[in-house]
Structure 1
Amino acid sequence: MHKGRKRPTHQADKSKSYPVTEPMELLPFLIKNISGAGRNVVKSILAHGQVSVDGKATTAYNYSLQPGHTVTVSKERIQEKPPMEGLSIMFEDEHIIVIKKDAGLLSVSSDSAKENELTAYRQLMAHVRTENPKNRIFVVHRLDRDTSGVMMFAKSEAIQQQLQNSWQDTVQERIYVALVEGTVKKEKGTVSSWLKESKTLKMYSSPYPNDGLHAVTHYKVLRTSKSFSLLEVQLETGRKNQIRVHMEEIGHPVVGDKKYGARTKAIGRLGLHARVLAFIHPVSGKLVRFETDIPKLFLKPFQAPVQP
């Protein structure tokens, strides 16, 4: 199995930091502080992007330093991680990356996506390659573009295969919150059906047993109003669009989900968020759990209007 290079927890052997105690421009500061380095050597270090101020690389000779700044000089060019759009990294080690994805960001490119469209996959690939151009990431599971929440990627093909082959046993919890239309009367329930995909790529429940992929969804009501319900949804199986199909089936489509019967756009996005992902780590064998907050937008329909 390919092992990724371990990221050093500190760079003491590769870099040196200097605290700034008085206002000064960067070039004279470096000449003063880097022992045995002449002006041309210092200029070369700067030009090669080996200097950062408070963690941000700069090549400006006249950068205005202030007391409290920390200047770091690295033996190698400082590789700045590319900025992330629509996602944040919750956890990363040499085997996996766990992210929180925003609604609207594609997990991976789809057939209908534009060629250079931003995806979580593409951004994370760029992220791991700043450390080593040969690094890669591998898709383990997906979230729909309009669903937000916790998602995991593997950092080697072996880990990807291991996770996918043992997914049902490895994943201990997959909990979503769903904002749905109407008042769900039953406090908790389970929907079980066989899912198939139509020619128009819409999933539906087959009326015949064993016809399609078995899908099981458990739900419990967190809040209700006259028009909406907030549900905690636990997946026993992870089929494409499973929650969306099952919510439509019980007569309470997910808010904003026109494809599966919704009539409202109450929050300007799909009312589905992958809140918790807990699984057995593929290498350490330990249970790891990642939890996010319920998006504030999902609570809006239940807040009393402010009296004028």
Structure 2
Amino acid sequence: MRYTTQKPAPLLTQLEAMSPDSSKSTLRSWLKSGRIEVNGIQAKAPHQVVEKDSSICLTPKKPQPLADGVQVLYLDQEIVVIDKPEGLLSVETPRIRDRCVHAILKRAYYPSRVFPVHRLDRDTSGAMVFALTESAAHSLKEQFSSHDIVREYLALIQGQIEPETGTIDTLLYEDTNYNVHVHKTQGKRAITHYKTLAKRKKTTLLELALETGKKNQIRVHLAHLGHPVIGDKKYGSDSDPFGRLALHAKTLSFVHPTTLKPMHFISTPPSLFGENL
């Protein structure tokens, strides 16, 4: 959260103007914990006079484990990168409002706003990025739209896929029941690249890269080839030895919205993938 002062006043008064819905005890806690910067310099004295046209910034809390197993991989004033556990929604639905990553982040970083810029399926684990400012959200959405963000996944699939390396390029169509299908003439183009990392008698471990990011893309593409992701009952898997979908968002790379520096994050895969490497 940033604020430009309108007139000279004590710092605590400026904070009241910046965040009128916050109590004085909350504002003092921000000062005490070192989260307030005035013109880029940390400020803790509530009675310090801050001149007109000064920039006041509320810095994010230090990264720490959040609710429902959400882990913070990176945090600054513009973005937060998290490690999502399986079984947790990315964003709210009409029926589920509180138990999702977006709601957890909004509670953790209030009064800062949190902007979703992409999603992972409920039963997929791994790295995600959320924006903390509108400008960062715009930048990240543009990078997703232009396919400049690199996303790599691990998937444990049924059977042995041939060829061992390839590209799946189809149209994906979502029906009225919200199920996604490969379709010859309807839908949006979806492209998934894959390569085999390890093979066993009945399973194969794949690394996959998304060129596009459509709903359920990896799951539908692999099911279309006759090799559904293990645990994916929705798209044809008859095997569920792990009690979860064997799909993990391993890496996430993008350009920082403000600094323009390349950012690269790795989410440690759950043990079920390591056992199959």
TM above 0.5, one fold? yes
| Alignment of 1:213 onto 2:188 | yes
Match of residue 126 from structure 2: 149
Match of residue 220 from structure 2: 245
The residue type paired with residue 113 of structure 2 is: R
> Which protein has the larger Cα radius of gyration, Structure 1 or Structure 2?
1
Match of residue 137 from structure 2: 160
Post-superposition shift, 1:185?
A: 3.1
Provide the rounded CA distance (Å) in 1 between the counterparts of 2:142 and 2:251: 21
Q: How does 1:218-297 map to 2 (within 5 A)?
A: 218-297=193-272
Post-superposition shift, 1:297?
A: 1.4
Post-superposition shift, 1:119?
A: 1.1
The residue type paired with residue 102 of structure 1 is: P
Post-superposition shift, 1:168?
A: 4.0
Post-superposition shift, 1:177?
A: 0.3
Cα distance, 1:137–1:182 mapped onto 2, change above 3 Å: same
Sequence identity, in percent?
39
Is the 1:277–1:291 Cα contact (8 Å) retained in structure 2? yes
Q: How does 1:83-232 map to 2 (within 5 A)?
A: 83-111=66-94, 113-115=95-97, 117-129=98-110, 133=111, 135-169=112-146, 171-208=148-185, 211-232=186-207
TM-score (norm 2): 0.75
Provide the rounded CA distance (Å) in 1 between the counterparts of 2:163 and 2:266: 26
Post-superposition shift, 1:49?
A: 8.8
Is the 2:143–2:254 Cα contact (8 Å) retained in structure 1? no
Is the 1:267–1:298 Cα contact (8 Å) retained in structure 2? no
The residue type paired with residue 121 of structure 1 is: H
Post-superposition shift, 1:169?
A: 3.9
Cα distance, 1:191–1:290 mapped onto 2, change above 3 Å: same
Q: Give the 3-state SS of the residue equivalent to 2:68 in structure 1.
A: coil
Match of residue 68 from structure 1: none
Q: Give the 3-state SS of the residue equivalent to 1:186 in structure 2.
A: coil
Runs of 4+ in 1 over 6 A off after TM superposition: 79-82
Cα distance, 1:182–1:96 mapped onto 2, change above 3 Å: same
Is the 1:171–1:277 Cα contact (8 Å) retained in structure 2? no
Provide the rounded CA distance (Å) in 2 between the counterparts of 1:271 and 1:204: 20
Unaligned 5+ segments in structure 1 are: 6-47, 56-73, 304-308
Cα distance, 1:192–1:83 mapped onto 2, change above 3 Å: closer
Provide the rounded CA distance (Å) in 1 between the counterparts of 2:208 and 2:86: 18
Post-superposition shift, 1:159?
A: 1.8
